[in-house]
Amino acid sequence: MSVRAGRRVPAALLIPAGLGLMFLVLPLAGLLVRAPWSTLPQRLTEPGVLTALRLSLVTATLATVLCLVLGVPLAWLLARVEFRGRRLVRALVTVPLVLPPVVGGVALLLVFGRRGIVGQWLDSAFGVTLPFTTTGVVLAEAFVAMPFLVIAVEGALRGADTRFEEAAATLGAGRWTTFTHVTLPLVAPGIAAGAVLCWARALGEFGATITFAGNFPGRTQTMPLAVYLALETDLQAAIVLSLILLAVSVTILAALRDKWITSP
Amino acid sequence: MKARAVAALLAAAVLGVAGCGDDASATGKGTVTVFAAASLTGSFTTLGKAFEAANPGVKVTLNFAGSSALATQISQGAPADVFASASPANMTSVTTDGTPATFVRNQLVIAVPKANPEGVTGLAGLAKPGVKVALCAEQVPCGAAARKAIDAAGVKVTPVTLEQDVKQALSKVKLGEVDAALVYRTDAKAASSDVDGIEFPESAKAINDYPIAVLKDAPNKTAARAFVAYVQSDKGMAVLTAAGFQEP
């Protein structure tokens, strides 16, 4: 420990921090201890596993893209524009965080389902039905994950120095140019952090996905759904699937962190 | 068979005493914790209240979930007294006090929305192109039963989704997202305001036995035995058959 005298970490902080870390890491250790290491190679090569993993990675990434496209402007609106009812809008953005994901899935069905307000029209006008499709998985994941992005980006915008934007404005830049050339680069680390949170949440999404998109291998069965069903019959298979999902996501997040998120 | 006769005698004795309601030693005191399959939610809630009314001083705590989730909870040390499972397979993964008894049976029906938009009348109707069908995943009992029935009928059904449990499959019908689903008769009956349950002959090939047992590590064995006996009594069976279950 290279903690210098006088700058020693106070025990009142160190002890709860250590306990907090243990609380988060011990369940993972539990999975590792109970993993069937001897049969791991053949379980990894079971055909359904790779299909579910690929589907999870693809849908989580698409959901993150969707959240970026819609969520960053929403965060900007909340941070930079004064309007009536802004507090209410901010509260509404966090609704998916509070809502049990299964209820979120039912709500999505009521809107985008075959008999839903929007879904009915999509079906009759374009012949498009969203439930039980991969698009449905992306929608369910984006619904649950978007608040993470919006909150992170709004926080970054509020923390950013607005004088740069004002300077750009006085030099004749319009609001759009200021947004793309000044604001976005300024809060890029915040956006990256929000996108990472958003992606991680989308990857682990279960309740809204199984309710809205159902469960069908290759089309809507993501890793968390495969884990849940494996749990019905084979605890060890479920542990293996969870470990694969964990290993892949931790690897990707660690690689991204080094590349994109450089802490100042 | 001898053991069963003894058990029946014991049950009768317990019931006899419980009927008098003045001897707390036979029905026990305190709380009896019952873990029961999700499909028993309605009937066991009713039975729990009736049992409490018949046995002052005993409180029934109910925990409903999928049978396999319950079995996992029990084998990981959850303090349960009684386990009522929707399939014998899940019962074998817990340690019971004595042999589990089959107390009811459940059969599949085809649940369709009230309007029955695709005009489904039997299993063959589920194989028609354009008919959206929800089945349970084969890992859960209702999915395994559905697979057996469909195989017995020799039809090819391509579901749009394999649901995690029977209630989820049913809710897809209620919401109109699918045109039909294979669910238990009891579930269709409980949702009779939104769905119709269509009986079909092949369901006789896929009948689910529901076993019940007192658990080996039950904290309150006396009350647990009394509750199991109450479920199997005439009063208990009346509640269960009214919900659509069959007597074994």
Task: Kindly report the nearest CA distance between residue B177 and chain A, in angstroms.
Answer: 6
Query: Which residues in chain A have their CB less than 8 angstroms from residue B162's CB?
Result: 214-217, 221, 229
pLDDT band, residue B14 (cuts 50/70/90) = very low
Q: Would you state the pLDDT for residue B68?
A: 83
Residues of A in Cβ contact (< 8 Å) with B92: none
Among B146, B133, B78, which residue's Cα sits nearest to residue B107? B146
Digit-coded pLDDT (tens) for B67-119: 888 998 998 889 999 999 988 988 998 999 989 999 999 999 999 999 898 89
User: B159, A115: Cβ pair inside 8 Å?
Assistant: no
Residue-averaged pLDDT of chain B: 87
> What domains are there in chain B, each with its CATH number?
28-105+209-242 (3.40.190.10), 108-205 (3.40.190.120)
Predicted pLDDT of residue A213: 94
Q: pLDDT > 90: what percent of chain A?
A: 64
Domain count, chain A: 1
Contact A220, A186 (CB under 8 A): no
Q: Is residue A33 part of a domain?
A: no
Rounded to whole angstroms, the Cα distance separating A240 from A227 reads: 9
**Cβ B148 vs Cβ B157: under 8 Å:** no
Asked if the model's pLDDT at residue B159 lies above 70, the reply is: yes
CATH of the domain at A134: 1.10.3720.10
The answer to the question of residue A27 being in a domain is no
Which of the pair, A93 or B117, is modelled with greater confidence?
A93
Whole-number pLDDT of residue B4: 55
Q: Identify all chain B residues contacting A217, using CB atoms and an 8 Å cutoff.
A: 162
Domain residue limits at A232: 49-257
What is the band of B16 on the pLDDT scale with cuts at 50, 70, 90? Answer: very low
Among chain B residues, CA nearest to A110: B175
* Strands (DSSP E) found in chain A: none
pLDDT, residue B17, reads: 43
For the cut 70, the answer to whether the pLDDT of residue A262 exceeds it is: no
Q: Hey, which residues 96-125 in chain B have their CB within 8 Å of chain A?
A: none
User: Which positions 223-252 of A are in contact with B (Cβ < 8 Å)?
Assistant: 225, 228-233, 235
Evaluate if residue B212 carries a pLDDT over 70: yes
Q: What is the pTM of this model?
A: 0.80
Evaluate whether ipTM surpasses 0.90: no
Q: Is residue A129 situated within a structural domain?
A: yes
Answer yes or no: is A20 within a domain.
no
In a domain, A24, yes or no: no
What's the Cα-to-Cα distance from B166 to each of A71, A115, A230, rounded to whole Å? Answer: 36, 21, 17
Kindly state the greatest CA–CA separation across chain A: 72
Q: With pLDDT > 70 as the criterion, what percentage of chain B qualifies? A: 90
Residue B23 in this model has a pLDDT that exceeds 80: no
Kindly state whether residue A200 falls inside one of the protein's structural domains.
yes
A216 and B161: CB-CB below 8 Å? Answer: yes
In this predicted structure, the answer to whether residue B147 has a pLDDT above a threshold of 80 is: yes
B73 touches chain A (CB under 8 A): no
pLDDT greater than 90 at residue B21:
no
For residue A17, being part of any structural domain is answered with no
Would you put residue B98 in left (φ > 0), alpha (ψ -120 to 50) or beta? left
Quote the percentage of chain B above a pLDDT of 90: 66
Query: What's the rounded mean pLDDT across residues A57-71?
Result: 97
Residue A44 lies in a domain: no
The mean per-residue pLDDT over the stretch B219-229 comes to 94
> What does the mean pLDDT of chain A come to?
90
